[in-house]
Each structure stands twice: as structure tokens, then as C-alpha cells.
Amino acid sequence: MIHLAPQTTALILIDLQNGVLGRKLEPLSAEELIERGKALAGMFRAAGALVVLVNVAPVAEDPPRRVDEPSPLPKILPEGFSDLAPGLLQPGDLIITKKSWGAFPPPRSTSNSEGAASARSCSEASPRNSASNPRRGRRGSSATNW
């Protein structure tokens, strides 16, 4: 079991939004990802840790990125594309909206999530890129030092 200090720890849930969850996902379904996200967020909230929800509202003109599974965006995104999965957001959670698919900028710059976490004195984060790349959330360690 991992022991983290809740006052300096954040759970980061990435891309659990309608526009991503509406696609065919593997190896977990959208419903499974949402339930796991809600369960994790509930545990972190109960412990008094920060929950950060990251969604994306991409600009159609962004240059194509190298991704596991290319998915061209329509010129006009469907209504509700960036809306978080129902029931995921709770009072006290922090929302960060990306303007491109990449979750974090190159290491030299300070990302929005890094700035938000440091503003709340978070030194540990547990990022989960669960919807757009479920495999990425299982690689490496479960906590990241900021």
C-alpha cells in the first residue's frame, strides 16, 4: 500500500470527458473508466487530498500530433465534447482545460497543472491518463514528485 500525505498529494484524472469517452476504448470501457475514476477520486477526497480533473477543448487548427490512435477532429466539435463525465466533478475539485491533446508541455516550461498543484503545496501527484490512453496510466510509479 502507498502512503501519501493528503495535504501535499493530488489525484489528476485526465480526459474523462464526453468527447473521449464516446469513442470505442480498450482495454477498459468508458463505463469502467468512469467508475474507477469516481472510486479513486472518492478515496482521495475522503483523505482530504486534492482532485484535479483535466479535460481538453482542442483547437481544430492545431498541427497533427503523433498519437497511439489518430482521431481527426471535426471543424466544429460536437456539443458537450469537453464536458466531464457526469457525476465526476465535486465541490473543491480543480478543473484544468487543455487547448491541445498533449497533457503536459515540454519539461522546460511550467504546466497549468504543475502551477495549480504547487499553489496548493502539492508535492505528490497521481496522474491517470485513463481515457485517451488507458495503458499510460499503468506505466511507471503511481505518484510523481513535482
**Letter for the amino acid at 80?**
G
For the residues of the chain, what is the DSSP string, one character each? -----GGGEEEEEE--BHHHHTS--SSS-HHHHHHHHHHHHHHHHHTT-EEEEEEE---TTSPP---SS--PPPSSPPTTTTPBPTT---TT-EEEEESSS-SS--TTSPPHHHHHHHHTT--EEEEE-TTT-TTGGGSS-S-EE-
Can you give the pLDDT at residue 51?
Answer: 97
Give pLDDT tens digits for 62-93.
555 566 666 666 667 888 999 999 999 999 99
Write down the domain spans for the chain. Answer: 1-60+95-139
Give pLDDT tens digits for 127-143.
555 555 444 433 333 33
Beta-carbon contacts of residue 29 (< 8 Å; ≥ 6 apart)? none
Average pLDDT, stretch 4-19?
Answer: 92
**Mean pLDDT, all residues of the chain:** 75
Superfamily of domain 1-60+95-139: Isochorismatase-like (3.40.50.850)
Give pLDDT tens digits for 42-54.
999 999 999 999 9
What global pTM score does this model have?
Answer: 0.67
CB 27 within 8 A of CB 134: yes
Is the pLDDT reported for residue 22 higher than 50? yes
Can you give the pLDDT at residue 119?
Answer: 52
